[in-house]
A and B are shown apart, each in its own frame.
Chain A
Amino acid sequence: MSKSLKVLFAVTALAAFGVVSGVNAADTKKVAATSKKDASSTTEQVTKVSTHQLGRLATEDEIAAWDIDIRPDGVGLPKGKGTAAQGEQIYGDHCAVCHGDFGEATGRWPPLAGGAGTLTAERPLKTIGSYWPYLSTVYDYVRRAMPFGNARSLSNDDVYALTAFLLQLNDVIQDENFELSDKNFTSIHLPNEKNFIDDDRLSEPNYVKNEEPCMSNCKPDKAKISAHAAVLDVTPENSDDKEDGANKGGVE
């Protein structure tokens, strides 16, 4: 761009901005007045807009197509049934490659069985049997998201059978002829159901409100290093060849 062209462009731009800013000044005042009222003003405005006329009624078939969620009280369970033995076959075909023949998992895929009594251990193993509170979660999740890469491909009966087999892998049931169905589903309880509590973080000492923190001479001695990230050396740029994180702190 030549010097004269640059000057020409700058002048044009300035003129354009001049016009725009004139318009904006009025708009800005309006916006400022609106934002002061914030949420309540928006609600007022909405009552002036016929939002109840937006969209259209969902049909029963449309709701049925998408409404696949299951709750612990059995709401959402479809009619159907399947035995643990049938589930073992389906599991072998679709699940074992990631989750292992016995639900022990391969690689970093989630384990599905085992781990009983490990929740207070240094390395807890959180599985359907050791951790999950409700069986409905298994049915719901398998139905909506599994098998990985081919979701929604299993029939409702397949999912009952798989869920029954997962109960067997987790020793909740022993009999491979056990048949799980929409009729007996809510009678099954998982071992760890009672160990979930609501969020009680606010009872922790560090939540004591409005406590002015120490600003000077808060600790007596010079800082000493108690843990190094470099010792583990699992940062990606430094460890291209390492597949295993030393501490294996999963995210999920």
Chain B
Amino acid sequence: MAAAAAATAAAAGGARAAGDPLITEIQDWNSALGEGVDAYPYGKPSEFEKGVVRKSVPWLTADPISSINFTPLHELDGIITPNGLCFERHHGGIAKIPRESHRLMIHGLVEKPLVFTMADLMRFPRENKVYFLECAANSGMEWRGSQLNGCQFTHGMIHCVMYTGVPLKHILAAAGVKTNAKWLLAEGADASAMTRSIPMEKALDDCLVAFAMNGEALRPEQGYPLRLCVPGWEGNMWVKWLRRLELGDEPWHHREETSKYTDLLPNGKARRFTWGMDVKSVITNPSPQAPIKHGKGPLVLTGLAWSGNGTIKRVDVSIDGGRNWNTARIDGPSLSMALHRFYYEFDWDGSELFLQSRAIDEAGYVQPTKEALRAVRGANSIYHNNGIQTWHVGPDGVIENVEVT
């Protein structure tokens, strides 16, 4: 190398040393001035990261107004999802509501029915909580077999942000909960007037009426100006554009909790009120959208783990399809009902790999295999698929979503 460099230098008459022109030559950004401080009054990602975006799967739904897109998990690190990349699911499109025009009503089995403006809500004591939000249908396309090449599509109906909001129990206390109130109906102000029934124990426990995510106001597509947070429970219950809370003595059995978000079992019976999200993990890198390009040698394997039961106690990683497991390293905050980031560093010898991750939560539940889930639930459940994912790595570093025996 030194000899070659010397030869090149000699050939060029010694005017310029050989090497990477990005280093040896003066680049535009070294000499020309860049843009000033107000070029981006509200900043945005580098133009060179324009491929890092939410994506949808057009054939999944009839219309983009009532559809879903996916968080690009393979492009992210740490445990916090940037607000602009949190997956979206709308049933009547994005409601655009001026914060001054928004109202929250609470009524039903309360001492006094109340109406709050956003300004009123800002006078309640607030909390900051980091929570994951996962759609119950996340990985739902994989019940019958491997279908989509990319963790963005197989596992991207999830995000994790720090919410700022008012504990729901404060609002309930302000209205005065009657003793016969056992259920709460949360309703959105959008064109689908989304509703879900929530048991009062959960409402009084840890639900949050949030107005900010990661420090800024909620994004419109995430329910601006107000949404419900139901930690550890399926995303559909986190009603966006939250406008109404009604207390009652029975659940409502509305569309989302009867025709949808009920889990059909092989015997024709269906589970309802399957709220909790189970222990789950996925390797985000390497993965089909993030193949190995550097060849053999040091490799950083990383992924995400989470559980609606609390924190993640341990994550194991297998590179041989579940024959042998190694405990991965969880790095960063380990917060209850939040995403956890894990790493497993090893030297890749350039041979074929079958990558898997298996999470264990603080309640002791172990992430099951897809076979174990199918053995009990069949393939028609749609929701709550937390089975172990397998990525096949070829010697060329190309990666595919597969299932293995």
Number of interface residues of B (CB under 8 A): 114
A157 interface residue per 8 A CB criterion: no
Closest-by-CB residue of B relative to A223 is B321
Measured in the bound complex, the distance between the Cα atoms of B324 and A218 in whole Å is 6
Partner of A196, one of B58, B66, B260, B270: B270
Across-interface contacts of A42 in B (CB, < 8 A): 125, 127, 167
Q: Which of A197-216 contact B (CB under 8 A)?
A: 197-201, 204-207, 209-211, 213-216
Q: How far is the CA of A199 from the CA of B136 in the complex (A)?
A: 14
**Bound-complex Cα distance A175 to B145 (A):** 44
Is the CB of A236 closer than 8 A to any CB of chain B?
yes
- Interface pair A235/B150, CB less than 8 Å apart: yes
Given contacts A225-B402, A238-B149, contact A55 B255 (CB under 8 A): no
B400 lies within 8 A of A230 (CB): yes
Q: Which residues of B contact A93 (CB under 8 A)?
A: none
Least Cβ distance of A201 to chain B in Å? 7
On whether the beta carbons of B404 and A136 are closer than 8 Å, the reply is no
Contact, CB under 8 Å: A252 / B316: no
A:34-71 near B, CB below 8 Å: 39, 42-43, 45-46, 49, 51-52, 54-58, 62-63, 66-71
User: Is A178 close to B, CB under 8 A?
Assistant: no
**Are A46 and B125 touching (Cβ within 8 A)?**
yes
A151's partner among B192, B322, B379 (CB-CB below 8 A) is B192
Say whether A94 faces chain B, with CB atoms less than 8 Å apart: no
B403 touches A226 (CB 8 A): yes
Partner of A132, one of B66, B121, B259: B259
Q: How many A-B residue pairs have CB under 8 A?
A: 295
Cα A65 to Cα B373 with chains together (Å) = 45
**Which residues of B lie under 8 Å from residue A214 when comparing CB positions?**
325
**Which residue from chain A places its CB closest to the CB of B126 in the assembled complex?**
A42
Nearest opposing residue in chain B for A152, CB measure: B193
- Are A209 and B365 in contact, with the CB atoms below 8 A? yes
Could you tell me the distance between the alpha carbons of A235 and B74 in the complex, rounded to whole angstroms? 15
Whether B145 pairs with A247 at a CB distance below 8 angstroms is yes
A227 contacts chain B at the CB level, 8 A cutoff: yes
**B301 at the binding interface (Cβ < 8 Å):** no
In the complex, what residues of B have CB within 8 A of residue A4's CB?
none
**Chain A contacts of B276 at CB under 8 A?**
199
Shortest Cβ distance from A170 into chain B, in angstroms? 13
Q: B253, A136: Cβ atoms under 8 Å?
A: yes
Q: Does B142 contact A (CB under 8 A)?
A: yes
**With an 8 A cutoff between CB atoms, is A88 at the interface?**
no
The answer to whether A140 touches B404 (Cβ under 8 A) is no
Q: Closest chain A residue to B404 by CB distance?
A: A223
In the assembled complex, which residues on chain B have CB atoms less than 8 Å from the CB atom of A45? 125
On whether A213 and B366 interact (CB within 8 A), knowing A46-B125, A249-B140, the answer reads yes
Q: Does A185 contact B (CB under 8 A)?
A: no
Separation of A49 and B55 alpha carbons in the complex (Å): 45
- Chain B, range 371-399, C-beta contacts under 8 Å to A: 372-373, 376-377, 379-380, 382, 384, 392
Residue of chain A at shortest CB distance from B176: A52
Given A140-B255, A195-B270, A249-B147, answer yes or no on A126-B264 (Cβ-Cβ < 8 Å): yes
Smallest CB–CB gap between B72 and chain A, Å?
Answer: 12
* B147 A213 Cβ-Cβ under 8 A: no
Could you say which of B120, B320, B363, B401 contacts A209, with CB atoms under 8 Å apart? B363
User: Contact between B244 and A245 (Cβ–Cβ < 8 Å)?
Assistant: no
Residue ID in chain B nearest A45 by CB atoms: B125
B193 with A145: CB separation less than 8 A = yes
- The answer to whether A234 and B147 touch across the interface, beta carbons within 8 angstroms, is yes
A80 contacts chain B at the CB level, 8 A cutoff? no
Does B150 contact A227, Cβ atoms closer than 8 Å?
A: no
**Chain A residues within 8 Å of B12, by CB:** none
B145–A250 CB distance below 8 A: no
The CA-CA distance from A2 to B372 in the complex, in Å, is 64
Other-chain residue from B146, B268, B368 in contact with A228 (beta carbon distance below 8 A): B146
Q: When each residue 232-252 of chain A gets 1 if its CB lies under 8 Å from chain B and 0 otherwise, what string results?
A: 101110100011111111111
Interface contact A133-B258, CB-CB below 8 Å: yes
- Which residues from A are CB-within-8-Å of B106? 58
Inter-subunit contact A58/B115 (CB<8 Å):
yes
List B residues 224-259 near A (Cβ within 8 Å). 243-244, 246, 248, 250, 252-255, 258-259
Residues on B with C-beta less than 8 A from A54 are 114, 116, 120-121, 123-124, 174
A226: chain B residues within 8 A (beta carbon):
402-405
Taking a contact as CB atoms under 8 Å apart, the answer to whether A218 and B140 are in contact is: no
Cβ contacts A to B, 10 pairs, < 8 Å: A56-B115, A107-B62, A120-B267, A120-B268, A148-B63, A151-B192, A199-B274, A213-B325, A227-B146, A238-B149
6 closest Cβ contacts across the A-B interface? Answer: A223-B321, A249-B141, A229-B401, A206-B368, A108-B62, A58-B113
A residues whose Cβ falls under 8 Å from a Cβ of B? 39, 42-43, 45-46, 49, 51-52, 54-58, 62-63, 66-73, 75, 98, 107-110, 119-120, 122, 124, 126, 128, 131-134, 136-137, 140-141, 144-145, 148-149, 151, 195-201, 204-207, 209-211, 213-219, 222-230, 232, 234-236, 238, 242-252
